[in-house]
Structure 1
Amino acid sequence: MGLNNNQIARIVELCLLAGEILIKSGAETSRVEDTMMRIAASFGVPEAQSFVTPTGIVFSSNREDRAKLVRVAERSTDLEKVAIVNSISRQISRGELTVEEALAQLKKVAKANLAYPLWLQILSASVASGCFLIMFQGVWQDFIPAMIAGGIGQMLFIYLHKYIKVKFFAEGLSSCVIGMLAALSIYTGFGTDLDLIIISSVMPLVPGLLITNAVRDLMDGHLMSALAKGADAFLTALAIGSGIAIVLAFI
């Protein structure tokens, strides 16, 4: 028995919502497209077509029907949402969820704030900065200065990004403050190795997931997404480097 237009429209809505959550949460392009196609096929739409970029998703139930577009303006890293959507997709493949049940679950995931509390994000960045310093064979005397600079830099980035929508400016200003705090620790005798303190403290700002996804997309043949994510990672690295360079130019 074939699907009517209303049923197909609900399936398309479900696929687009799943893809939107994934791309906003930091999933790679191949995962987004594969999840959407599997969901569509599980509900009897095996000829669905999808095209995913970091800023938008185009999806159609077949080659003849009109495609629908979802614009993606903001992206972050929330791997828990990625895992939840993957779990829902597997349930759909096993026939355990109807379209309406899956839509209801995905809408809850889309609205949910699953991010860790800000204080925990800042504390984690602080501890990670100190651990990076030891990993880079620094001395224990620089552990605390690296923790302070990394924690304050992360806190500044989080709050600046709320008001400065262009994240590269927030990253540049945060790295600039990290550089000043590192230089201050050396000037006061609290720290000993300026280079290692700076390198360790900016590590939480480095776009590791973005670089990884860019390489994966490139290997999977998603050239447009790979280049876009690679350019994003490059600009982030440039912003971090520029902020540190400004400080080093004046000390």
Structure 2
Amino acid sequence: MTTHSESRERITSELCLLAGKIILQSGGETHRVEDTMIRIAAASGFPDSQSYVTPTGIIFAIGGANPVTRFVRISDRSTDLSKVTLANDVSRRLSLGELSAAEALARLREIEAARVVYPAWLQIVAAAFVSGCFLIMFKGGWNDFVPAMLAGGAGFALLLALHRFVPVRFFAEFLSAAVIGGLSILFVRIGFGHELDLIMIGSVMPLVPGLLITNAVRDLMAGHLVSGLSKGAEALLTASAIGAGIAVMLSAWS
């Protein structure tokens, strides 16, 4: 028969793992995940809990009379900082006593199930506009603003489409970069664009893994060497795929 203490340990363990899973899957740093889980456990009456987080899994051991260790596998990661913010808000409200453990768990389940990402068409429009803005930031001319927008928007649209059907994300990034390179060269060849290098650089910026690089550096500075190195390697592979796609198109059109 399950005692009240065992039930509280089970709920707290599930609560901590779910919060950590949401933050890690949504682009949060490793040390943020561990800190959030420890804070939730402490607020629930288990100050001696331990957690170990890597980009592909979470190990959490809750303290108590009968310590229980649980593991959660992380197979899919994306960038959704709104979910990170919502999960952190639940953690803060729980620590302040504004939510009970059961209420916090229910709220986290709602956050996990919710699709709070922007629609695909809006992401494509934003990527196109950002591509043009990056071109201007790199001292490009306004006459290349529209070509950069079209190339960047087309490449990002292809990336979103390929992510649904191609399980290997680096292959999708390679093809998207190749399309951006091909369109940039085409625009310059027909006289629609002028500065090829700036159009390419501005157009590929939405594909650059900026958040991944930032998290890798922050994890390394926080002492999480395994997570920092693995995220850094992932960012390097992504950057290599983007560079290879551009290089292939430059070689093909030269």
TM-score norm. by structure 1 comes to: 0.98
Shift of 1:5: 1.0
Counterpart in 2 of 1:12?
13
Counterpart in 2 of 1:48?
49
Moved over 6 A (4+): none
CA distance in 2 between counterparts of 1:147 and 1:73 reads 33
From 82, 85, 90, give the equivalent of 1:83.
85
Choose 236-245 or 62-71, whichever is displaced more. Answer: 62-71
Shift of 1:250: 1.4
RMSD in angstroms over aligned alpha carbons?
1.2
Counterpart in 2 of 1:242?
244
Q: Which aligned pairs between 1:123-142 and structure 2 lie closer than 5 A? A: 123-142=125-144
CA distance in 2 between counterparts of 1:250 and 1:123 reads 29
CA distance in 2 between counterparts of 1:101 and 1:78 reads 23
Shift of 1:179: 0.3
Q: Which aligned pairs between 1:144-163 and structure 2 lie closer than 5 A? A: 144-163=146-165
Q: Which aligned pairs between 1:201-220 and structure 2 lie closer than 5 A? A: 201-220=203-222
CA distance in 2 between counterparts of 1:56 and 1:172 reads 27
The one-letter amino acid of 2:121's match is W
Shift of 1:65: 2.1
CA distance in 1 between counterparts of 2:174 and 2:200 reads 14
Shift of 1:6: 1.4
Q: For 1:98-126, what per-residue CA distance to the aligned partner results, in whole angstroms no more than 9, with x for missing partners?
A: 11100100000000000001110000000
The one-letter amino acid of 2:237's match is L
Q: For 1:70-127, what per-residue CA distance to the aligned partner results, in whole angstroms no more than 9, with x for missing partners?
A: 0000000001001111111110110111111001000000000000011100000000
Percent identical residues: 57
Shift of 1:3: 6.2
Q: For 1:168-203, what per-residue CA distance to the aligned partner results, in whole angstroms no more than 9, with x for missing partners?
A: 000000000000000000110000111010000000
CA distance in 2 between counterparts of 1:155 and 1:65 reads 48
Count the aligned residue pairs.
250
Q: For 1:30-76, what per-residue CA distance to the aligned partner results, in whole angstroms no more than 9, with x for missing partners?
A: 11000000000001000101000110000011396231000000000
